[in-house]
Structure 1
Amino acid sequence: MIDQLHLQNLKAWRDSGPVQLARVTMLLGSNSSGKSTLLQSLLLLKQTVASPDRTIHLNLGGDEANDYFHFGGFDAVLARGAAAPRQFSIALSFDRPESERVRHGRFACSYGQTTSGAVAIQALELSTVARRFRAVRRERGAYAIYVDDEPRPRGKGPQLAPERSIALPAEALALLGSDGTHLQDLSLALRRELEGIVYLGPLRRRPERDYVWNKTAPGEVGSDGHKAIDALLANALLPSEHQGSVLRSVSHWLQRMGMAEQLSVRAVGRSGRYELLVHHDGVVANLRDVGVGVSQVLPVLAVAYCAPPGSTVLLEEPEIHLHPLAQAVLAEVFAEVSQQRQVQFLVETHSEHLFRRMQTLIARRQTSTAQCRMLFVERRGADAVLVPLDVDEFGAVRNWPQHFFGDAMGEAREQARARAQRLREVTGG
């Protein structure tokens, strides 16, 4: 689980400060406030780790087939008006299961621009509770390698340049001797944490009438959810001890949302094609023929049950196209699945219904403020500012930003005033 994130000079974030994350973290705020950048910073590292070029320092994207996000050039990422030196940084800490060789780790990296325009690491720090390793850029692309608080570097040279932001090359590991093994374990733990990030964006693909299934289970549902149905087909059709479990779980939540009683899979002819059927109010219909809300929430529910335990799921606007009750039930999905399956959710949302239900779950002790954090992002001038919401054990918010969800009491007062005025006009009073 990623338990802390810190951005500096990255897009709208001059300095986010240490952002504490929980098993479920909800990001709220107005449009273009900077919420998405918090998620995108993790995707930036994930797509860097996945790059086929191990010598790359930071993959800003551009490959539509493989990258999650295209960040543009260095200047598009650097915060406007950033003072010299022109650098931005990303730091995070993570906590792995007890079975891992490295349970706790921290990553911090600052990036600058070379004279050729390329992004280059200026300083990389990888640490655990016991050890600390640093790679610091010197002149002409050389890097000095430091261990713990040693005043002198273990070595220096261009051959020691970091790889994919999270690791040092074989030459550096050999230079470090027995310490190199510890560093290698740390880099591997960080790599697994980043590879375990699953992203579902706000724009989900419309469903097809039927699907060709190649008898395999997809690794991810895709950032637009286009492989969600493949995942459901695989769970329904592949023989295993968990066969049908995901389909049943998704059906359960659709029933709670009042959108369907059951999902089922049916073969279409003998061509290896299948359709997903939605059972609701005694009617069985193809997914394509039901309301768009069902197809839009399916990837959200599928990723909740298909993401491997230990994953971090990034969700943007999971409530899109859902009616109020369904939006509220999403809070129950995140709270329950995060505890049962040990999956972390970072959720960017504008839904008052989702937020209010999470407050209710805290009041009912179905989750807690330790398990769920509410973060509000606002703009102050050109800068994004993070305001952690102070939620008590009864779900009440002590420092709620004024009028973010509108002024419900004010609307009620205005309706009463208008009603009284109209009654006076009718009665002539």
Structure 2
Amino acid sequence: MLKHLQLKNFKAWSDTGDVALKPVTMLLGTNSSGKSTLIQSLLLLKQTVQSPDRTIQLNLGGDELNDFFNFGEFENVLKQGASPRHFEIQFSYERPGKEERINSGQFRAVYGQAGSGAVAIQSMQLTTSVKDQDFSYRAERRDKGAYSLFVNQESQSRGAKRDFAPERSIALSAHAIQTLGTDGALMEDLSLAVRRELEGLIYLGPLRRKPERDYVWNKSKPGEIGIDGHKAIDVLLASALLRSDERNLTLDSVSGWLKKMKVADKLEVRQIGRSSRYEVVVHKDGVVANLRDVGIGVSQVLPVLTVAFFAPEGSTVLLEEPEIHLHPLAQSMLAELFVDVSKKRKVQFIVETHSEHLFRRLQTLVAKETTTTEKCAMYFVEKGRQGAKLRELILDSYGRLTNWPDNFFGDTLGETREQAKLMFERKKRETK
């Protein structure tokens, strides 16, 4: 689970400050304020560690099939007017209960531009703690592309060579590892742990693909759900048709939440004749219809529900606008889904949303003591003269907000007062 995130001179952000990430973290704010950038920074690192080119230091994208975003060039990522011309990404993570040598760590990298125009790491540091002893490894860029290696608080480097250049942002070359000697093995384990944490991020974007009328099942479980959720149906088919101890577990869980949201009574997978094709049908108020023929809200929320039970325990799910095309009750139930799944499956949710109903229900869950302010966090992002600004929204133990930005969700009480005022004025005129 991710614990902290900080960006400096990254797109709209001069400095986010240290952003604490909880099991359920909600990002709210105005349009084009910088909310999505917080999520994109993590996906930038994910697509870098998954790059087939191990020598790349930061993969800004361009491969439509394999990359999450195309960030363009260095200038498109660097905040305008930044001095020095460097941007920084830093995060920490923790995997409690995992039987691994390294179950927590911190990553920090500062990026600049090489003479060729490519992105080049200026400084990369990985930190961890093993048996209450801290370890730190750092690579610093020198002249002509050489990198110096430092271990812990050593002031003297272990050498400076071009062959020591970091790979995929989070690793050192085999030559650098060998040069570190006995410290190299721990450094290698640490970079592998950071890589696993980034590879384990699951992202579902705001635009989900419309369903097909029927599907061919390839008799396997997909490895991913896709950024547009197009593999969600394959996950449900595998849940219904694969013979295992967990058969129907995901399908039944999704059906249960659809019922709680009052958008469907049940979801069912049906074989079409004796063919290898299957359809997903929705039961609602005694009517059975193909998924393609029901309201778009069902098909749009289906990947959101599916990813909650598809994500491996302990992973982090990044969601943008999960509430799209849902009615108010269904939107509010998403808050209950995130809190419930984060508790039972240890899945972390980082959610970018515009939904007042989702936000208000999370307040209620705090008031009901279903969750606590230690388990959820809410941030408001707004655009200022100097760039994006982040405000942590403070809830008390009764779910009351102490520092809500004016009129973000509109002035509900003000609208009610205005309506009452106009009603009385109109009735007064009508009685004359």
- TM bucket (normalised to shorter chain) is over 0.9
Q: Residues 279-300 of structure 1: CA distance to partner in whole angstroms, max 9, x if unpaired?
A: 1100111000100000000000
Letter in 1 for 2:94: D
Deviation for aligned residue 1:226: 0.5
Match of 2:205 in 1: 201
CA distance in 1, matches of 2:216, 2:11: 41
Match of 1:244 in 2: 248
CA distance in 1, matches of 2:299, 2:204: 14
SS in 2 for 1:59: coil
Deviation for aligned residue 1:11: 0.3
CA distance in 1, matches of 2:59, 2:144: 21
CA distance in 1, matches of 2:307, 2:380: 25
SS in 1 for 2:373: coil
CA distance in 1, matches of 2:75, 2:425: 57
Alignment equivalent of 2:150, drawn from 146, 166, 174: 146
Match of 1:91 in 2: 90
Match of 1:137 in 2: 141
Q: Residues 240-296 of structure 1: CA distance to partner in whole angstroms, max 9, x if unpaired?
A: 000000010001100000011111101113331100010110011100010000000
Please give the root-mean-square deviation of Cα atoms over the aligned residues, in Å. 0.7
CA distance in 1, matches of 2:27, 2:6: 15
- The TM-score with structure 2 as length reference comes to 0.98
Match of 1:415 in 2: 419
SS in 1 for 2:111: strand
- The TM-score with structure 1 as length reference comes to 0.99
Q: Map of 1:140-219 to 2, 5 A cutoff?
A: 140-219=144-223
Q: Map of 1:65-84 to 2, 5 A cutoff?
A: 65-83=65-83
CA distance in 2, matches of 1:188, 1:393: 39
Q: Map of 1:257-296 to 2, 5 A cutoff?
A: 257-296=261-300
SS in 1 for 2:336: helix
Contact 2:14 2:388 in 1 (8 A): yes
Q: Residues 384-405 of structure 1: CA distance to partner in whole angstroms, max 9, x if unpaired?
A: 1110011111111111111111
SS in 1 for 2:38: helix
Q: Residues 15-51 of structure 1: CA distance to partner in whole angstroms, max 9, x if unpaired?
A: 0011000000000001001000000000000000000
Match of 2:409 in 1: 405
Letter in 2 for 1:421: E
Match of 1:46 in 2: 46
SS in 1 for 2:4: strand
Deviation for aligned residue 1:382: 4.5
Structure 1: 4+ residue segments shifted above 3 A: none
Alignment equivalent of 1:321, drawn from 318, 321, 325: 325
Query: Unaligned 5+ residue runs, structure 1?
Result: none
SS in 1 for 2:332: helix
Contact 2:208 2:230 in 1 (8 A): yes
Match of 2:381 in 1: 377
Q: Residues 85-124 of structure 1: CA distance to partner in whole angstroms, max 9, x if unpaired?
A: 2010100000023312112200000100111110000000
Query: Unaligned 5+ residue runs, structure 2?
Result: none
Percent sequence identity is: 62
Deviation for aligned residue 1:154: 0.6
Match of 1:126 in 2: 126
Contact 2:14 2:386 in 1 (8 A): no
SS in 1 for 2:110: strand
The answer to whether the aligner puts 1:333 opposite 2:327 as a matched pair is no
Deviation for aligned residue 1:420: 1.1
SS in 1 for 2:415: helix
State how many pairs are aligned: 427
Letter in 1 for 2:104: H
CA distance in 2, matches of 1:283, 1:257: 17
SS in 1 for 2:298: helix
CA distance in 2, matches of 1:196, 1:394: 34
CA distance in 2, matches of 1:282, 1:94: 47
